[in-house]
A = this chain, B = another copy of it.
Amino acid sequence: MSETKKETKEVVSIDEIMSKLSLEDQTSMKKLLYGSNYEPLELPETVMNFAKKMQFEIGSYRIISTPEQVRKARVVRMAALQTKLPLPTTAPVIEMRAAIWKRAEEAIELAAKAKVNIFCLQELWTMPYFFCTREKQPWCEFAEPAENGPTTKFLQVLARKNNMVIVSPILERDEVHSDVIWNTAVVIDNHGDVLGKHRKNHIPRNEDFNESTYYFEGNTGHEVFETEFGKIAINICYGRHHVLNWLMYGLNGAELVFNPSVEAGDFSEVIWPIEPRCAAAANSYFTCAINRVGTEVYPNEFTSGDGKPAHKDFGHCYGSTYLTAPDGTRTPALSRVNEGLLITEFDLNMCRQVKDFWCFQMDRRLEMYAERLTKATKVDYVPQIVRK
């Protein structure tokens, strides 16, 4: 694979560059870039040694919040996994899936040692991001039923064993309904039961993101899953760009919204640190943006609709997995190049604390916007333009 050569050119992370500054300058800069309400989360040496052995970069942080008088703190630990393909894309489907499962199992074991309660995998975590190729086979063979497919069964065992909620974004094949394919996140609770599934609400139609060739806009709404470790939701990948998508999860009571994604390219990276963070602040909940790393190289040439010659790789997936708190504070990201696990600890009570502080949920004039949006979607809507 040409991968190794490519990766060496990539910048590791903003934090790696910042580490060259004086401690004072680093502190000032981090405060401006990330906010003040986070601190390192110390993990036991055994955990760190295991991470090192398994070659997972660890980012571990605690979001700082205030105890309340009436409510008990609801502290949870969340982990988000950032990995690359373990095999070339030419590997047979079952071998690829098995190798990816193995890596996830290692990461879940690591998270369990770190006492993690909620674990989220990447978008379409069992497979290459083959949509760039626009080819149907063998790729569609990665699709599997959400409720009782092999990947769900595999994770149910790990969820039960580790008392861990696991969010598993896969390519779903709905065998009960005409073999329709969906981009779906399966939520498995800490007892190993499938709590439900959520289908991606917004499907991209640009560059290498040819997903609209494979599946349609989700029909499951904006479910919030009530787990023993808080109310979670999943805004899959491209739904990140749509503020109303984020808003509906908030209106349904989400406290933590995952954004499992596959992202490569400058045009995407420039807004990667912005959108999920803005959503956290706008809706007073936690968000976690998760991306894979590495360059996926495909057997056959494809074009990217950008006037450039045909090529075989999807570009560098830039990782940079990070979490944002409801007050807009964010953690540093995992690197742009390494496999890793982001582990964060926070008190879910912070959501309501921030709501009580800012009051966005009260001063946003939702009735007015419901009415105006309804008007604005009519074919004969006349925009409010002031002319001389």
Say yes or no for A20: interface residue by CB 8 A criterion: yes
Contact between A226 and B376 (Cβ–Cβ < 8 Å)?
no
Residues 152-176 of A contacting B (Cβ, < 8 Å):
none
Contact between B281 and A384 (Cβ–Cβ < 8 Å)?
no
Please name all residues of chain B whose beta carbon is closer than 8 Å to the beta carbon of A385 when the two chains form the complex.
223-226, 231, 252-253
Smallest beta-carbon distance A114→chain B, Å: 26
Q: Which of B327, B363, B371, B384 contacts A267 (CB 8 A)?
A: B327
Q: Which of B22, B202, B274 contacts A365 (CB 8 A)?
A: B202
Chain A interface size, as a band, is 35 or more
Contact between A269 and B32 (Cβ–Cβ < 8 Å)?
yes
Chain B residue, CB-CB nearest to A374: B370
Say yes or no for A222: interface residue by CB 8 A criterion: yes
Residue from A189, A226, A358 having most chain B Cβ neighbours under 10 A: A358
Chain B residue, CB-CB nearest to A29: B17
Say yes or no for A372: interface residue by CB 8 A criterion: yes
Please name all residues of chain B whose beta carbon is closer than 8 Å to the beta carbon of A193 when the two chains form the complex.
388
Smallest beta-carbon distance A327→chain B, Å: 7
Chain B residue, CB-CB nearest to A12: B28
Say yes or no for A86: interface residue by CB 8 A criterion: no
Q: Give Cα A29–Cα B367 distance, bound, in whole angstroms.
A: 42
Given contacts A204-B363, A274-B274, A370-B374, 20 further A-B contacts (CB under 8 A): A201-B365, A202-B365, A205-B362, A205-B363, A206-B357, A226-B387, A242-B364, A243-B243, A243-B244, A243-B247, A243-B278, A243-B282, A244-B364, A271-B277, A271-B278, A275-B278, A277-B278, A366-B376, A367-B377, A371-B374
